Structure 1
Amino acid sequence: MNQNFLNATIILVLLITSCGTRKVPTSVDQPTDMLDKKWQLIELNGKPVAEKINGKTPSLEFFSKDTSYSAVTGCNGIGGKFVFKPNGKIEFSAGMSTMMFCEDMSVEHGLKDVFEKADNFTINGDFLSLNKAKMAPLAKFKLIETQNASLDGTWELDYMSGTRIAFDGLYPNKKPTITFDTSNNKVSGNSSCNNYSGNMTLDGNVIKFGPLASTKMACPGNGESSFFQTLDKVNTYSVQENTLTFIMGDIAIMRFQKKS
């Protein structure tokens, strides 16, 4: 057999074998031990973080349903989207944020910086770290062993976005409330003027209201109409301790505090 022909045959066999054993890239695994749980911030840029900042526990949640994250900074609620990448990499994009000013804003500013810089994560038991490259962790969290926060009960509105009139101008005498009965998928409350009630649908943290019926008392100002118009835009929610946030897309548009 011609030697050149034999060499060519051997090379062809090796190429075919190599192609046949080449691994096809697979999708990035979801670290389920990190998702749909609440993580308390315990360290930021190497410094310990108090359990309460401005009376709130700084914390972080990752939601598997829509790949969104929600954080309590000790002042405002912030959030957005995240993407898992190979080899423990992660990428955050900014989204919703309430706009309150608090006495201590240091943790809030620090956490926003973490979400801008972090590109990977590590999980060790009940502890989660967000890191940049191989440097020291930007932020450390510990798992909070609590049951999922419940919507049930009555909540009072204390923030609403998208209106030209200041919140206190819309509701000078009485703030709107909302009461949930999740076992029957019912909702009721007061719009600051009329009582209302109706149905809701829940799917994870996705929520939709309607139809809603209300009493017909004449109401001064635009407070009631603004409340119902904004409520109709809500599609997801987040509960952090005694604070309920309604979200449209990735924008926080309403915030309530627990009354009972």
Structure 2
Amino acid sequence: MTTSVLALLTLAACGTETGAGDDGGSSVDTALPVTGVKWTVDTLTVNGKQAKAPAGAHVEIDAKGRASGNFGCNQFGADVTVKGDSITVGPGQSTEMGCEKDLQKFETALSRAFAGELKAKLAGDRLTLTTPQGDTIALTSKPERPAQLVGPEWAVDSLLDGGTASSLPAEMTGKAQLTFGKDGTVRGNLGCNNVSGKATVDGSTIIFGSLASTRKMCPAPVMETEQALHHVLKGKAAYKIDGRTLSLTAADGKGLSATAIEAEPRPRK
């Protein structure tokens, strides 16, 4: 499944490229403006049913035919060869983080629908890829405005350990979240208990003060994960924002990943 998903997003990035060489390796004709562009995956349509892509799903391709990106949960990389409007994808690599149920369902659909040869059509900033069965993926090259650390609610979705990411227990889905304030504070919930305290930003580092926490007891898997999250929020942690994804990494390589949640628009009076 992972290889097929890699095929999808890699194809999304280079489906509009033409004139690939015949040397059997990956190749890209940069005549069309698709390289060096962040293509955002918008929707997937299978058997006439359209599904919105998860936040953060995107792909970028360089002039050498190397594609990389994220389909909303796992990161990927793969080589591609393009001939006319047909795209062939080489073996790909991907992280293997477990995903939340709805995201896993979307991921499975991608793996089934986007494999083998795809046809691509570019119209302005919109790219459409079509399978032989008529299923389609729609992408756009509109720049995504990076989220700011202060302000949005950051939904914690995974634990990091070096180059490995693991999902949170199902019981914690939608519960673990953090919000950084303009006054140098952080508040939120670690999946079971509410927390609050100081969070001072110094360059690419956040220095966390001692966090106050409620004392609610939850099932063992939740409490263990909460302790792991609490560990990341002790002392200094490096932070990085990529689009709408925040990663926090402690000195020992332990960390967490979170996604910025857009606020619901207020109704007009």
Residues 237 and 96 of structure 1: CA distance in aligned 2, closer, same or farther (over 3 Å): farther
Structure 2 counterpart of 1:41, from 43, 65, 76: 43
* CA distance in structure 1 between the aligned counterparts of 2:74 and 2:167, rounded to whole angstroms: 22
| 1:177 counterpart residue number | 179
* CA distance in structure 1 between the aligned counterparts of 2:133 and 2:74, rounded to whole angstroms: 20
1:224 CA displacement:
2.4
| 1:68 counterpart residue number | 68
- Say which structure, 1 or 2, has more relative contact order (CA 8 Å, 6+ apart): 2
Partner of 1:150: helix, strand, or coil?
coil
Greater C-alpha radius of gyration: 1
One-letter identity of the residue aligned with 1:111:
L
Residues 85 and 257 of structure 1: CA distance in aligned 2, closer, same or farther (over 3 Å): same
- Matched-pair contact (CA < 8 Å) for 1:237–1:247: no
| 1:93 counterpart residue number | 93
1:106 CA displacement:
4.5
Q: How many residues of Structure 1 are paired with residues of Structure 2 in the alignment?
A: 198
* CA distance in structure 2 between the aligned counterparts of 1:41 and 1:59, rounded to whole angstroms: 12
Structure 2 counterpart of 1:189, from 186, 189, 208: 186
* CA distance in structure 2 between the aligned counterparts of 1:80 and 1:165, rounded to whole angstroms: 21
Query: Map of 1:81-230 to 2, 5 A cutoff?
Result: 81-87=77-83, 88-91=87-90, 92-102=92-102, 106-114=105-113, 117-118=115-116, 122-125=120-123, 126-129=126-129, 131=131, 136=132, 139-144=135-140, 146-152=142-148, 153-161=151-159, 175-178=177-180, 189-190=186-187, 192-200=195-203, 209-210=204-205, 212-216=206-210, 222=227, 223-227=229-233
| 2:219 counterpart residue number | none
1:238 CA displacement:
4.5
- Matched-pair contact (CA < 8 Å) for 2:27–2:82: yes
* CA distance in structure 2 between the aligned counterparts of 1:238 and 1:118, rounded to whole angstroms: 30
RMSD (CA atoms): 4.8
* CA distance in structure 2 between the aligned counterparts of 1:215 and 1:247, rounded to whole angstroms: 15
Residues 90 and 167 of structure 1: CA distance in aligned 2, closer, same or farther (over 3 Å): closer
- Matched-pair contact (CA < 8 Å) for 2:56–2:71: yes
* CA distance in structure 1 between the aligned counterparts of 2:232 and 2:171, rounded to whole angstroms: 13
* CA distance in structure 2 between the aligned counterparts of 1:28 and 1:109, rounded to whole angstroms: 28
Residues 71 and 150 of structure 1: CA distance in aligned 2, closer, same or farther (over 3 Å): same
- Matched-pair contact (CA < 8 Å) for 2:42–2:138: yes
- Matched-pair contact (CA < 8 Å) for 1:129–1:138: no
* CA distance in structure 2 between the aligned counterparts of 1:190 and 1:217, rounded to whole angstroms: 9
One-letter identity of the residue aligned with 2:40:
K
1:36 CA displacement:
0.8
- Matched-pair contact (CA < 8 Å) for 2:99–2:167: no
Partner of 2:69: helix, strand, or coil?
strand
* CA distance in structure 2 between the aligned counterparts of 1:141 and 1:124, rounded to whole angstroms: 12
One-letter identity of the residue aligned with 1:177:
T
Q: If the length of structure 1 is used for normalisation, what is the TM-score?
A: 0.53
* CA distance in structure 1 between the aligned counterparts of 2:256 and 2:96, rounded to whole angstroms: 9
Residues 176 and 89 of structure 1: CA distance in aligned 2, closer, same or farther (over 3 Å): same
- Matched-pair contact (CA < 8 Å) for 1:159–1:256: yes
Residues 97 and 130 of structure 1: CA distance in aligned 2, closer, same or farther (over 3 Å): farther
- Matched-pair contact (CA < 8 Å) for 2:41–2:137: yes
Gaps of 5+ in 1: 1-22, 182-186, 201-208
